[in-house]
Amino acid sequence: MAVRPLPEVIGGAVDRSYGRVVARAMVVYDGLGLPREDGAVTVQLAPGVASVVRTSAMAEARSTYPDAAVVDCGFAVSPPIVNAHTHLDLSTMPHTPGPYVGFIGAVIAHSRSGARGLAAAKLGVAELKASGARVIGDIVTDPATMEYLLGQDELSGVAYWEVIAPRAEDADAAFAATLEALARFRALERPGGVRVGLSPHTPHTVSAPLLARLAAYAAAEGLPLAVHVAESPAELELHLRGTGALAESLAQAGFGMAATGVSPVRYLHDLGVLAAGPTLIHGVHVDDDDARLLARAGAVVVHCPRSNAALACGAFPWTTYAKHGVEVAFGTDSRGSSPDLDVTREVAAALAVQGAKLNPRAALRAAVKGGYKALGMLPPRVVRGASAADLVAWG
């Protein structure tokens, strides 16, 4: 269900170069207020021009412009979509469904094979563009990929520099190395392009003192911050009891972590990480108390439904987040845990899994406004007179 610029869809469906066309969709969103179901965008065509006349209910558009051609645009018409969480340097990794802990082992093996890096990231960028996504949140693990993303003219969003350092005794050296890398990367930022962000990988792969220092630094510098958290049942068990498959895997690697006695989200709060207003990736295993903490912090949660299903991570608590006003976005995660990088298919997967718990308007809003907010960007608003190219049609 890749997206295309709205003028392309209209131009291929009507035999006229002037007049008004009504683009109809199941859900229509112009970035203002809430999306509307059975909506329409009326577009004025002239040679070389396609501009927005108004966004309305479909019935209103038909009544106001009875002579306008109608083009069915499928699921949605909206501002450009956002893929708020990717791992582009894993784009050559085979799709590897299975238990979460086993999947992490497969990622490590793939990385050690030398297949993770710039060449894979370039393939991922090409796939993203083919799906219609130009705004991304990517986790970056090597300098060459970071430099490549910062030089892309057609992309915007955030490239998060990943930090993994689970031993507390390594915190000082890891912090110094991170600051050195970030300074080098930030010098390459360009107005309107991809920004540099920071991603302490998870609460169990970054030591507590380093995690706290990185979050404080990001807040002081205004750097976007992203953390994978509360993804799997094994992570929750690790925090609450210090047992389970993840605890055993960490211990075997020499990075054992003692139980914190609290949820992963509460742990981030206690360390001061939530005070930095991070974007949290996955956030599957949370309760009402966790959601209240996230709401107070203004944190955004990025949902990757197909990855969650492939890794048996559990049911995403959409209604819990909605009840407490926590903003949700969508991401694809990596090709290792998802079959492709098309975020519109993540939306379709979420609607199928959530059923009555998630309506299409909320899902569309998350894919657009939630995504921009997750990346610290101002969501676009398409008003009367704007180019119809500022909108995309889904499917």
Which residues are annotated as catalytic?
A: 231
d(CA 138, CA 149): 9
d(CA 366, CA 173): 38
Single-letter code of the amino acid located at 13: A
d(CA 263, CA 109): 29
d(CA 250, CA 274): 24
Q: Which residues contact 166 (CB under 8 A, 6 or more apart)?
A: 204, 205, 206, 207, 250, 255, 257
d(CA 80, CA 368): 7
Tokens of 178: 């991170």
d(CA 280, CA 85): 10
Q: Which residues contact 95 (CB under 8 A, 6 or more apart)?
A: 310, 335, 336, 337, 338, 339
